[in-house]
Amino acid sequence: MISIVLGTRPETIKMSPIIRECETRNLDYFILHSGQHYSYDMDRAFFEDLELPEPKYNLDVGSGTQAGQTAKIMTGIEDILVKESPGIILVQGDTNTVMTGALAAAKLHIRVGHVEAGLRSFDRTMPEEINRVVADHVSDYLFAPTETARQYLLNEGIEENKICVTGNTIVDAVFQNREIAKKGADILDTLGLEPQGYFLVTSHRQENVDNPEKLRSIIAGLEAVHREYSLPVIFPMHPRTRKMVERFGVSLDGISVMSPAGFLEFLQLESNARLVLTDSGGVQEETCILGVPCVTLRENTERPETIEVGGNVLAGTGADRILVSAREMLSRTGSWQNSYGDGTAGGMIVTICNGISSRSSCTR
């Protein structure tokens, strides 16, 4: 039996190809949703939009301190793993759900597969970096998306036979969910936007939005981009970011703020934008796959492949650098090569997991 553990919407997106593979092959599996960021009641529509089956278990732990949330998730996952006794647990990415799921399973001697293993920002001030490192070092199967990620794992002393380069499931997810999105309403029509006629922004990371100086500088950079190009700047604003904008009294001149979009709507906005500015790791990957120029509002990234192929640039949070970086990316053609695979990662991972009882290593 395969246990698929997730707790945030980005995890659901990247696990969706694996879930679909399990459904298609009629495998024995179940989904456990920790509710790390939202209650499952809020996420139910998200699963419906992506045409995914409902989780069997919902912990609904909600937000909290790092330690408090981690404890709640780990206790809940442990109880379910004891009850179900799966052959392998799959976790994805770098959230508290990932780390606690991996730890709980490892302590119960249940094999762990880490999807998107080996990503590194080399910034231990980021909670995500701690989570991904811990998950990698207790996992039995490390599904690395790229050769770069594989090399990082080898550099940390992880055995080569545990590592399998599969590509990134985000490629599968973008291809599959883009087709689903075509069946829905066109958000560009709703917002009165033209393809290639607007800039798209996301920013939610704690180190950016909880710091008043950084937040004001990011907004100033976005305003400068708007003034120079006279194109709408569309900002589906995360609740955390909106709260901090209001708390710090940050004005938003020339920036069109909207409520967070569902993934299918966001995929439409993303694929038709002239430029995306973001501090999200997942968005960096998606824009690279879609051929949309990206400016990353951070000083580092665990997605160096996006920069190496020319689809992304690090701007930090300084207003002047954001404008210069936007100019640079807008001068590029969007013809870079997608370095995250051909959209078959989900199938490869499920094939390995399905044969887990007779497999002692992860063959590449």
Active site residues: 204
- Report the alpha-carbon distance of residue 37 to residue 353 in Å, rounded: 28
On whether the CB atoms of residues 187 and 234 are closer than 8 A, the answer is: no
- Report the alpha-carbon distance of residue 104 to residue 239 in Å, rounded: 30
Positive or negative: CA dihedral 361, 98, 50, 337: negative
Largest CA distance in the chain: 61
On whether the CB atoms of residues 242 and 235 are closer than 8 A, the answer is: no
Alpha helix locations (H) across the chain?
Answer: 9-24, 40-49, 66-84, 96-107, 127-138, 147-155, 169-181, 187-191, 206-209, 212-229, 239-248, 263-272, 281-290, 304-308, 319-330, 345-354
Q: Would you tell me how many other CB atoms lie within 10 Å of the CB of residue 2?
A: 22
- Report the alpha-carbon distance of residue 104 to residue 355 in Å, rounded: 22
Please enumerate in sequence order all residues whose Cβ is within 8 A of that of 96, keeping only pairs 6 or more positions apart, or say none.
Answer: 7, 36, 66, 69, 70, 73, 127, 131
